[in-house]
Structure formats: C-alpha cells, structure tokens
Amino acid sequence: MKSSILVFGSTNFLATLPDQILDTNIFSIDIVTSLSQAQSCIHITPIDIILVQASLEGSMELCSWLKEQTKLSCVYCILFEDRPELLTQKSQENWEWELLVNAAALEQGADAYVWQIPENQTTYSLANFAANYQIIIAQFTVGLRKAQKYRDLLDKNALLSAIALADSLTELNNRRALEWDLPRQVQQARTLKDPFSLIILDVDFFKKVNDTHGHLVGDRLLQLLCKRLQNNLRSQDIAFRYGGEEFVVLLTNTSIEEALNIAVRLNRVVDESSFVINNQLSINITISLGVATLEPEDNETGISLLHRADQCLLAAKETGRNKVVSWDEHHHISHLNSVSY
C-alpha cells in the first residue's frame, strides 16, 4: 500500500522539494493550493504526511486545524518556512529569535519545521543545500515511520476487536458483538425507513445432550448446528451466540412475514436430519424460535425488540417446543402466532 502525501503548495514550492518525496511510483500524491481543498481532500482520502508551504495563504490555519482534529493525530505535518521576511531575518544568525519562531510553528500544529534555502540565494554553498535536503528527507522519513506504526496499530486493534467480538467455540459473533451491532442496526433501519426483524432461538433439551454424552459432544453439536444455521441464512443475515445454546439472528431489511419464513426454514433444517458427531454417534435435536420486528415504540438500543422476541421464544418452549412463535400486530403476549412442525 502506497503512503499518501498531500502537498499544500504552489508549483514553485514543488520545484524545491527533493525528487525522492515526489516519486509517484512509491507515493500517492495530491496537490492543493487552498485551505478548503486541503480539508476536503483529507476528509476523502486517508493522508499520512502533509507538506505545507508557509508562504501560501491558509498554511498556518491548516496546521492549527490539523492539530484540533483528534482523528487526524496520526497525520505528520511538515511546515516549510519560505516566507522571505523570515528567511532574511534568519540569515542574520539570531539564534534566540530563530528558536522562538520554531517553537511558535510547532505550537500551531506542525510536527516538523524546516527552513528552506531560496534557490536564488548566492550566499549558501552546495553543501548548505545538500544539508537542507538531508533535513527534509530525514523529517519525511520520520513521518513515514509514524504512519507505518499507526497502520500496524490499526491492524492489531482490528485483530483484537475481532477476537473480542467472536465466540471461540462456534466462530459466530458473540453477545458483546450483538450489544454493539443491534443499536446500529436499529438506527440504520429507522434512518432508511426499512423493516428490521430479529430471531432468537434455543436448542430444545440441550442439557440432556450434555448429561448423556458429555460436554465435548455438546460443544461439537453446537458447532455443527451453527454451520447448518449459517448455510440456511441469507448473506445479509447476522448470527450471534447469545449464550450457552441460545442464538440471535439479526435480519436487515426484513418484514415480519419474511422473518417468519426464515425462522420456519431454520426450524425445518434442524429437525429434518440428525447431526453426525462421529462414526458411532448421531444426534437428533430440535429448536424453538421467537420472532419480532422493529416497531416505532421500540427503544434505540433494540433491547425492547429483543425482549419481545425472547417472550415469543419462552412461549414456544412453554407450549411444546420445536416451533416458531411470533409477536402479532396487536403487540401483546396473548396474541402470539404459533407454527409447529
């Protein structure tokens, strides 16, 4: 992946930069000349390093703006001092003044501050220009190193998040993942004005499996069950292990009628064939399912929706198990629709 470079500067400024920095075979480079263009580019494209021409209008504002953006703290900003009045004063070798100017530039938001040597300046030797180029390359290298460390950190955080949100036994999303995703799905459904439904299901008499065959067999049974469930869900459906032998499925853009059809299919595919644990053991199980769909009065966390589906699951288990129960249009526990097999 190429590092992304944003140059805030004029054509003349570009001519002063080392060729190594402007190599488009190595870096992805965008060039802008106004503050609004720079901000727009940063919002659209992830940026690793920003090279800022101090004499260009809006340069100091860009540095300050970057410093205020917490999410952009990873961007390395190199400010190139090319303002004639400051360069002239610097040539007088007033070290105290120069240190104050450097400090002011860094306080405004720059991560590095580089004094440029004017191309038409005859008092500087080739060695001076070479040293100046080395400073620029060194600061640029620091920026690249910081960007790489940030990418590595993002990758590690993504991996840790995936581990934290996954159930190690079934490889489904876990309850913590559900608690994060359910409110997001509710908000999205309301924003898009799409239907959103939910299934909660439980393995009937699962304790008997553990008591009879042991927990290792029970664990293997849950793994096989999850694979069968996933093979019979749509690509947009998201399954979670809610706890023990209980699972939740979020159904994006799905009406109650569609959700019932999915629940009925899941109930059927579990009941119709046994689960082969090994060459000597096959186990038949059934599941009970509760179904509910998002209503205007549901809270934004989705907890009330989950609670209604759970009440339906409880009703399914209390009335014989191995069935699908849904909450009807009257939104009352005494008005449950039951489909058994």
The residues annotated with a catalytic role in the active site are: 245
Q: How far is C-alpha 62 from the chain's CA centre?
A: 27
Report whether 259 contacts 329 (CB < 8 A): no
Pairing verdict, β 238-243 and 275-278: unpaired
CA distance 251 to 257: 12
Distances (CA, A) of 335 to 35, 179, 256, 328, 329: 61, 28, 15, 6, 8
Please report, as a single letter, which amino acid is at residue 256: I
Q: Which amino acid is at 71?
A: K
Name beta bridge partners: 50: 6, 77
- CA angle, corner 179, sides to 175 and 181, nearest 5? 110
3-state helix, strand and coil shares in percent for the chain, rounded to the nearest 5: 50, 20, 30
State phi, psi for 253 to the nearest 5 degrees: 50, 55
- Encode 247-281: b = buried (16+ Cβ within 10 Å), e = exposed: bbbbbbebebeebbebbbebbeebeeeebebeeee
Question: Any idea what DSSP says for residue 118?
Answer: P
Nearest alpha-carbon partner for 74 in 105, 43, 41, 48: 48
CB-based contacts of 152-155 (< 8 A; 24+ apart in sequence): none
Q: Tell me which DSSP letter residue 44 carries.
A: H
Tokens of 15: 């001519």
